[in-house]
Amino acid sequence: MDKTEKQICLYSSALLALMLNVGKLLALRENGILAQYWHFNTTEFAYQVLAQFSFCYLMFYLNLKQHWLATLRNQNKYLVYAGINFLIAFFFMAFFGGIQRRVFHDDDSFRQIYWAAYTARFALAVLLTGILIKIILLMRASKQHQQENERLKNAYTVAELELLKEQLNPHFLFNSLSSLSGVVRENPLLAQQYIMHLSKVFRYTLEKPTGNLVRLTDELQIVASFAELLKMRLEEAFSLRIDIPEPYLHYRLPHLSLQPLLENAAKHNAATPAHPLKVVIEMSGDKLAISNNLQPVAAESSGIGLANLGERFRILMHQEIDIQKNTETFTVMLPLGHG
How far is Cα 32 from Cα 207, in angstroms, rounded to an integer? 80
Note whether 305 and 191 are same-domain residues: yes
Note whether 120 and 71 are same-domain residues: yes
Note whether 100 and 200 are same-domain residues: no
pLDDT of residue 246: 92
Domain of residue 81 covers 3-149
- Residue 290 resides in a domain: yes
Note whether 63 and 139 are same-domain residues: yes
pTM above 0.75, yes or no: no
pLDDT digits (tens, 9 = 90+) for 262-300: 888 988 889 999 999 999 999 999 999 999 999 888 756
pLDDT of residue 238: 93
pLDDT of residue 102: 78
User: pLDDT band at residue 29, thresholds of 50, 70 and 90?
Assistant: low
Note whether 37 and 137 are same-domain residues: yes
Radius of gyration of the chain from its Cα atoms, rounded to whole angstroms: 37
DSSP 186-233: H-HHHHHHHHHHHHHHHHHHH---GGGEEEHHHHHHHHHHHHHHHHHH
Mean pLDDT of 55-60: 87
Note whether 144 and 191 are same-domain residues: no
For the chain, how many structural domains are there in total?
2
Question: How does DSSP classify residue 269?
Answer: B
- Residue 164 resides in a domain: no
Note whether 215 and 303 are same-domain residues: yes
Look up the CATH number of the domain holding residue 222.
3.30.565.10
How far is Cα 238 from Cα 231, in angstroms, rounded to an integer? 6
pLDDT digits (tens, 9 = 90+) for 121-177: 888 888 888 889 889 888 888 888 887 777 756 655 665 555 555 555 565 666 667
Note whether 132 and 250 are same-domain residues: no
